[in-house]
Structure 1
Amino acid sequence: MENKTKQLTFKVKGTGDEITLKNFHAFVAGYTGRDTAAVQQHIDELAEIGVPAPKEIPTFYSVTQDHYDTSGKISKDENLTSGEVEPVYIRHAGKIYLGVGSDHTDRDLETEDIAASKLACAKPVSYQVIAVDDISSLSLDECTARSWVDNLLYQEGKLSGLRTPKNVVDLLIERTDVGDDDFICLGGTLPLLEKKFKSGGAWRVQLELPNGEILEHTYTVN
């Protein structure tokens, strides 16, 4: 793993403790739908417009440590970019934490090269996270995910269509070189309400857990 100076600090809800990732691996998980037939259909549709099929399902796209950002401000180029709400899986000192983030992506570039599109934008994530005692028992099926762009509701729904957190994390460890190191990974999203990407200056992403606990992050695009 390349050593870099970027650090990410998170506050653990309910304890006030902070954790800091220093030398860590950074990924974005793609094609994390639980219905593999539907995922394959989507891949086939993309192939028809020239987007290469992934070698594995799900796919873990490697990004740099610098891509992940908790500042609440990111920049963009002239292309169409947009965010989407996703659970964030973090491992620090062997312990798993859950956050919320946005896989902000260059949608123009995405039609040509998905891996490159993931590298084109910063990945905003929440400063607050929740400590996960046992990832085997962590279910997000009844978790409601929402996103807003410029105060308009953009996504809303349960995350029961995604692979379980344990499955995503297990496959990440199995298929990459993380070993016992710290890592952070966006874990997948749900469909857009209007089925059309929108750009915007103000974004808000939220996970509402079954117990009423909320993880949320807001950011602006300059």
Structure 2
Amino acid sequence: MFPLRFDVAGRTVEVAVTTLLNAGYAGRSQEDVAAHVAELAELGVPAPTRTPCLYPVAPYLAMQADVVPVQHGRTSGEAEWALVITDDDVLLTAACDHTDRELEVHGVAWSKQAGPDVLGRKAWRLADVEGHLDELTLTAWAGGEKIQDGTLAELLTPRYWLDELRSRDLARPGTVLISGTIPMASEVDQFADTWRVDLTDPRTADTITCSYTVQRMPDPVA
């Protein structure tokens, strides 16, 4: 398992991921979440038994990749932030949860295992941005077209998830939590050959980016 390496204010921080968790249905307005669950149900995606959700994912799926191999043409990313617990700190970075949409209709947890969580190579200390967290923006482009654009005020906070992790004895070095996402623009084709996510602090104009190319694998010989 390869460690993740982050540039934190010019210092390299290395983290060996031991626990990877994907939050789901994690909007701060749970009324909006309920409406989203209903919309997905109409598309055949099974409704969760509770919200927000927390999906354990194989730790090796946390990566800093430039290329994401996929098995078919119906996979796509999601703009998210990632919480990374180190030996002595908590970091925040950009992330893109690449999801198999064909598999999602059979089980969200299964679909999370079918693609990686791509993280940025730069990170901020959570303590340095937590005081103005809701001002941070999250933006995604699919194939060069803007598909998601919002702020962290739309999502449950890192502090909420840290409390949740502590209650489950998971707030320990090597744990990475991916936040859940914000709404997508329905008119943009999410099944694109490139994905990019920007996490921006408007107070400093500093941006953390993760981006990658989606590469179709050869058809199986079977």
TM-score relative to the length of structure 1 = 0.87
| 8 Å Cα contact 1:94-1:180 kept in structure 2 | no
| 8 Å Cα contact 1:82-1:197 kept in structure 2 | no
| 8 Å Cα contact 2:85-2:172 kept in structure 1 | no
Matched residues, number: 214
Give, as a single letter, the amino acid of the residue that structure 1 aligns with 2:151: K
TM-score relative to the length of structure 2 = 0.87
What's the offset of the Cα at 1:6? 3.1
Q: Find 1:146's aligned residue among 139, 149, 158.
A: 139
Give, as a single letter, the amino acid of the residue that structure 2 aligns with 1:129: A
What's the offset of the Cα at 1:134? 6.7
Give, as a single letter, the amino acid of the residue that structure 1 aligns with 2:196: R
Give, as a single letter, the amino acid of the residue that structure 1 aligns with 2:93: G
| 8 Å Cα contact 2:76-2:191 kept in structure 1 | yes
Q: 2:115 aligns to what?
A: 121
* Match status 1:172 vs 2:165: yes
Q: Which secondary structure state, in structure 2, belongs to the residue aligned with residue 6 of structure 1?
A: coil
> Which runs of no fewer than 5 residues in structure 1 stay unpaired?
none
* Match status 1:59 vs 2:53: yes
Q: Which secondary structure state, in structure 2, belongs to the residue aligned with residue 75 of structure 1?
A: strand
Q: Find 1:163's aligned residue among 156, 162, 165.
A: 156
Q: How many angstroms apart in 2 are the aligned matches of 1:28 and 1:68? A: 10
Give, as a single letter, the amino acid of the residue that structure 2 aligns with 1:116: W
* Match status 1:27 vs 2:21: yes
> Which runs of no fewer than 5 residues in structure 2 stay unpaired?
216-222
Q: Percent identity over the alignment?
A: 31
What's the offset of the Cα at 1:172? 3.0
What's the offset of the Cα at 1:139? 4.2
Give, as a single letter, the amino acid of the residue that structure 1 aligns with 2:83: Y
| 8 Å Cα contact 1:159-1:189 kept in structure 2 | no
Q: Which secondary structure state, in structure 2, belongs to the residue aligned with residue 57 of structure 1?
A: coil
Q: 2:6 aligns to what?
A: 10
Residues 139 and 164 of structure 1, relative CA distance in 2, 3 Å threshold: farther
Q: Which secondary structure state, in structure 2, belongs to the residue aligned with residue 133 of structure 1?
A: helix
| 8 Å Cα contact 2:73-2:191 kept in structure 1 | no
What's the offset of the Cα at 1:194? 2.6
Give, as a single letter, the amino acid of the residue that structure 1 aligns with 2:89: K
Superposed, 1:79-98 pairs within 5 Å as 79-98=73-92
What's the offset of the Cα at 1:52? 3.6
Q: How many angstroms apart in 2 are the aligned matches of 1:48 and 1:150? A: 26
Q: 1:217 aligns to what?
A: 210
What's the offset of the Cα at 1:182? 2.3
Q: How many angstroms apart in 2 are the aligned matches of 1:153 and 1:52? A: 28
| 8 Å Cα contact 1:205-1:218 kept in structure 2 | yes
Give, as a single letter, the amino acid of the residue that structure 1 aligns with 2:209: E
What's the offset of the Cα at 1:158? 2.1
Give, as a single letter, the amino acid of the residue that structure 2 aligns with 1:151: G
Bigger drift between 191-200 and 179-188 goes to 191-200
What's the offset of the Cα at 1:29? 0.6
What is the root-mean-square deviation of aligned Cα atoms in Å?
2.1
Residues 20 and 116 of structure 1, relative CA distance in 2, 3 Å threshold: same
Offset from partner CA, 1:90-125 (integer Å, 9 cap, x none): 110141101001011011111220000111101111
